Amino acid sequence: MAKIEVQGLESGAFPTVARALNSAPLKDEVSLGDLWDLLPYADRFSLPHRGKLRRLTLDPESAHTVRGPKTVRGSLYPLPVVLQSSVKDPMASRDIVDEDLIAEEYELLDRFLAGYPTLSGWRSTNQSGQPIPYQRGFNNSGEYLVLPLILPKPVGDMDPSGLEVRSVDYHGVPYVYPGLDSSSLPAHPFMVWWAILFVLSRLARYQPNEWLELTSISRSGHAVAIEHILGEAIRAVPELALKAIIRCASPAGFQPD
């Protein structure tokens, strides 16, 4: 089921709402597994054959946060980028590492974060151009990277953190989403929910035998994940819909270059 390809139509309600939310309209085919893993809490019970796309948490309240008139700082995690070295920071008992290796590894980060449109203009260096020490975190999936980063504050942004337009609030947590198609716009969880629930409803209505097989706890590896995601939909979708209505009434979201 994770390999089912999803693509938005060129006209109709879906692209209209996507445009209002400055969200990727799914111009290109995206696998259901990729969309599934973009939803918070969905990874508690993942589909077989997990997707490759990941949402990231943008923490404006980290110890690295510094307010300023033109830039803001926060921490970004969990980055699935394996770095072998640390920046030079003898005061933190870190090893001295070759500068060329540091530059190479930050190039890996740069290429990875290029897939997240709202992080455009990011940097992780101080005023002297030296990399800011990153941190490592751990969860059930193992080790991951926590990256302190600096972002330019949008002109005219009234939000005190300056990070609101670069993330989407989901149950009180600010998440950053990758792009999904050639539109150079980020995914939005409301649109992701729409696409996933549309696919599930089509399966249930037009392929009832396959749907019964997929949702059979005793026979299907998909059943628990489907039951979990439908339960989460009851809680998440109304909240996201209300926030989408408020946002469209007073648009202040990310504007692409």
230 and 147 in a single domain? The answer is: no
The answer to whether position 170 is within a domain reads no
Last residue of a domain, one of 128, 161, 194: 161
Sign of CA pseudo-dihedral 175, 179, 184, 185? negative
Q: What stretches in the chain show pLDDT beneath 50?
A: 63-67, 87-88, 251, 253-257
77 and 139 in a single domain? The answer is: yes
The answer to whether position 255 is within a domain reads no
With beta carbons less than 8 A apart as the criterion, state whether 38 and 192 touch.
Answer: yes
186 and 221 in a single domain? The answer is: yes
Question: Bridge-partner residues for 136, per DSSP?
Answer: 145
138 and 75 in a single domain? The answer is: yes
pLDDT of residue 156: 61
pLDDT of residue 152: 81
51 and 62 in a single domain? The answer is: no
Last residue of a domain, one of 131, 161, 191: 161
61 and 157 in a single domain? The answer is: yes
H or E stretch at 57: strand 56-59
146 and 194 in a single domain? The answer is: no
H or E stretch at 145: strand 142-152
pLDDT of residue 209: 93
151 and 83 in a single domain? The answer is: yes
Q: How far apart are CA 248 and CA 16, in angstroms?
A: 12
**pLDDT of 97-147, one tens digit each?**
566 766 777 788 888 888 999 888 888 776 666 667 677 776 666 667 788
Domain range for residue 121?
57-161
pLDDT of residue 85: 52
pLDDT of residue 116: 92
Q: How far apart are CA 136 and CA 46, in angstroms?
A: 24
Q: What is the largest CA-CA distance in the chain?
A: 63
156 and 226 in a single domain? The answer is: no
Q: How far apart are CA 238 and CA 9, in angstroms?
A: 24
155 and 125 in a single domain? The answer is: yes
The answer to whether position 154 is within a domain reads yes
The answer to whether position 174 is within a domain reads no
User: How many independent structural domains does the chain possess?
Assistant: 2
190 and 235 in a single domain? The answer is: yes
pLDDT of residue 107: 80
152 and 116 in a single domain? The answer is: yes
The answer to whether position 36 is within a domain reads yes
pLDDT of residue 82: 62
The answer to whether position 98 is within a domain reads yes
pLDDT of residue 66: 46
